C-alpha cells in the first residue's frame, strides 16, 4: 500500500508539473511598462548594418536611427553616402508599427533626395501612438546616368511613451 501511495503522489506531482508548464507555454509574453503589445523580436544585426551589394559602383553605405522625441513625436534620421558625386542621392523612408505579431507600414515611402552630391542626410518627424513599438526601414539609393543602386537598413526599435 505504501508503494501505491508513492506512485500516486508521483503521478499527482507529474501531472501538476505538466499542467503548470502548459500554462506557462500558453501565457502571453510580458509587456514592458506602458506597452500595449509584447516586445517585438530583436532586429538582426545584418538588418541594422544594412544590406548593400558589394558590387555597387557608386553607393557606398547608408545608416539610420530612430528616437522618441517626446509629445508623441518619432524622429527617423537617415544618411546615404556615395563614393563620388552622383546625379541624384536619397532615402526612401518607411515607418513601421509593431502590432504584437507583425510589423505594419504606418507611413509609406516618403522619398527625399539631393541632386549632384555624394551625401544625403535628413530627419523626418512622425506622430505616433503611445504604447507601441516603432522602427524605420530606409532604402538608400543613388542614380548616376543609367545606373540605379540601392540598399536597405532596418533601425532598432523604440517604444513610444
Measured distance CA(64)–CA(53) in Å, rounded: 18
Residues 4-46 have pLDDT tens digits of 555 445 444 544 444 444 444 444 556 667 889 989 988 766 6
Query: Is the Cβ–Cβ distance between 118 and 58 less than 8 Å?
Result: no
Q: If you count them, how many residues does the chain have? A: 161
Task: Tell me which residues of the chain have a pLDDT lower than 70.
Answer: 1-32, 44-49
Task: Compute how many other C-beta atoms are within 10 angstroms of the C-beta atom of residue 143.
Answer: 17
Residue 113 confidence (pLDDT): 93
Please give the pLDDT value at position 106.
94
Phi, psi of 131 (to 5 degrees): 90, 0
pLDDT at 140: 97
pLDDT at site 80: 97
Alpha-carbon gap, residue 67 to 76, rounded angstroms: 7
The pLDDT score that the predictor gives to residue 108 is 79
Phi and psi angles of residue 6, each rounded to the nearest 5 degrees, phi first: -65, -40
Calculate the alpha carbon distances from 121 to 79, 110, 138 in Å.
Answer: 4, 14, 12
How far is residue 127's CA from residue 73's CA, in Å, rounded to a whole number? Answer: 5
Q: How far apart are CA 88 and CA 3, in angstroms?
A: 83
* 96, 107 Cβ separation under 8 angstroms: no
* Per-residue pLDDT at 147: 98
Amino acid at each position: 500500500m505504501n508503494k501505491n501511495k508513492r506512485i500516486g503522489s508521483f503521478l499527482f506531482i507529474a501531472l501538476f508539473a505538466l499542467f503548470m508548464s502548459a500554462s506557462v507555454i500558453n501565457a502571453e509574453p510580458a509587456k514592458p511598462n506602458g506597452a500595449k503589445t509584447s516586445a517585438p523580436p530583436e532586429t538582426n544585426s545584418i538588418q541594422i548594418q544594412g544590406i548593400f551589394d558589394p558590387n555597387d559602383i557608386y553607393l557606398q553605405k547608408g545608416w539610420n536611427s530612430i528616437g522618441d522625441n517626446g509629445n508623441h513625436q518619432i524622429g527617423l534620421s537617415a544618411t546615404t553616402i556615395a563614393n563620388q558625386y552622383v546625379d541624384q542621392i536619397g532615402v526612401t523612408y518607411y515607418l513601421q508599427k509593431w502590432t504584437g505579431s507583425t510589423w505594419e507600414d504606418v507611413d509609406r515611402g516618403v522619398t527625399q533626395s539631393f541632386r549632384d552630391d555624394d551625401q544625403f542626410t535628413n530627419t523626418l518627424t512622425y506622430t505616433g501612438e503611445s504604447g507601441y513599438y516603432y522602427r524605420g526601414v530606409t532604402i538608400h539609393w543613388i542614380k548616376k546616368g543609367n545606373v540605379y543602386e540601392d540598399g536597405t537598413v532596418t533601425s532598432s526599435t523604440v517604444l513610444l511613451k
